[in-house]
Amino acid sequence: MADMTGQHAVITGGGSGIGLATAQLLRGQGAQVTILDLADGADQAAARIGAAFHKADVTDETAIESLAELLEAHTPPTILVTCAGILQRTLRPEVLSWGEWDRMIAVHLRGTYACCRSFGGRMVKRRQGAIVTIASVAGLGTGPLHGYGPAKAAIAHLSKGLAAEWGPGGVRVNCVAPGFTETPALDRGLSAGALRASRLEAAAALGRLVAPQEIAAAIGFLASPAASGITGAVLPVDAGYLVAGDWAAYGGLREPLTDTP
């Protein structure tokens, strides 16, 4: 297990799901963790794992900038993980409202950019830091998510650009692209009937959903000194969802052979 003693990780959306699993992992490895989230109850989730908490909306760049200034004055953050996110309904573009589309871009792309700008900019001045952003398989392929998908594609692109921009300043920027992950957000999609677990499982090479702890493990690795030579990477953690897709043209994934050919 990595020793993250002496590190201070800021995790947006750390009150639930992937962000909370990441906060738990890093706390267990000895890091100081500060969670930024806007949900009711996120403060209690933070308290349960010994993390500090600030109520914040990542789309409010003024509030994010103030928080970055505040934390810099106390314990300068060495890690930023941008997990804040919301899932989109699978509506056709003709009926997807401008309000919902704008919110997708604002929370994911603008929110990620605002946090990277405020926290990453300060890391560069200190020549020390690791950022992990969160995209999605929905941003690497296509699906009926016409705001969410493009926003996630842009996050992967942004992360590579920031990696090039800030590499000379000693700050690494990587991106994790989760597949369908068992979090409260996905549960809400499944309960609403927008998604079916059996279909999602069948579409992945490993035949299952991803656990939030598996995403957290990848984030924790990329944020740790063990990944000191990695920057600008976009890492799918998707139980093989992306590699399985093209097999549909050949009749889908096959069962393993049970006897020698």
Interacting residue with ligand NAD among 77, 111, 129, 149 (CB under 6 A):
111
Instruction: For residue 203, give the amino acid letter.
Output: A
CB 226 within 8 A of CB 2: yes
Interacting residue with ligand NAD among 43, 57, 65, 201 (CB under 6 A):
57
Least distance from C-beta 257 to ligand NAD, angstroms? 31
Q: Quick check: 154 binds ligand NAD (CB under 6 A)?
A: no
User: Which residues, including other chains, have CB under 8 Å from residue 111's CB and lie 6 or more apart?
Assistant: 12, 58, 59, 82, 84
Question: Active-site positions?
Answer: 148
Nearest one of 221, 252, 196, 250 to 26, comparing CA atoms: 221
Interacting residue with ligand NAD among 24, 181, 224, 231 (CB under 6 A):
181
Least distance from C-beta 100 to ligand NAD, angstroms? 13
Least distance from C-beta 45 to ligand NAD, angstroms? 8
Q: What is the DSSP letter of 176?
A: E
- If you compute the radius of gyration of the chain from its CA atoms, what whole number of angstroms results? 18
Q: What are the C-alpha distances in Å from 18 to residues 14, 80, 232? A: 7, 14, 21
Q: Which is nearer to ligand NAD, 105 or 124 (CB)?
A: 105
Q: Which is nearer to ligand NAD, 42 or 123 (CB)?
A: 42
Interacting residue with ligand NAD among 119, 166, 180, 241 (CB under 6 A):
180
Q: Which is nearer to ligand NAD, 78 or 82 (CB)?
A: 82
Q: Quick check: 174 binds ligand NAD (CB under 6 A)?
A: no
Instruction: For residue 253, give the amino acid letter.
Output: L
- Cβ–Cβ contacts within 10 Å for residue 185, how many? 15
Q: Quick check: 184 binds ligand NAD (CB under 6 A)?
A: yes
Q: Quick check: 147 binds ligand NAD (CB under 6 A)?
A: no
CB 131 within 8 A of CB 171: yes
Q: Which is nearer to ligand NAD, 42 or 153 (CB)?
A: 42
Nearest one of 90, 173, 96 to 138, comparing CA atoms: 90
Interacting residue with ligand NAD among 4, 46, 71, 84 (CB under 6 A):
84
Can you list the alpha helix ranges (DSSP code H) found in 15-135? 17-28, 42-48, 61-74, 98-104, 111-115, 121-126
Q: Quick check: 85 binds ligand NAD (CB under 6 A)?
A: yes
CB 180 within 8 A of CB 241: yes
Among positions 220-249, residues that touch ligand NAD (CB under 6 A) are none
Q: Which is nearer to ligand NAD, 124 or 205 (CB)?
A: 205
Distance CA 55, CA 16 (A): 13
Q: What tokens appear for 18 in the block?
A: 């992937």
Which range binds ligand NAD by CB under 6 A, 52-60, 65-73, 90-98, 252-260?
52-60
Residues at the site binding ligand NAD, with contacts judged by CB under 6 A? 12-13, 15-19, 37-39, 42, 56-59, 83-86, 107, 111, 134, 136, 178, 180-181, 183-186
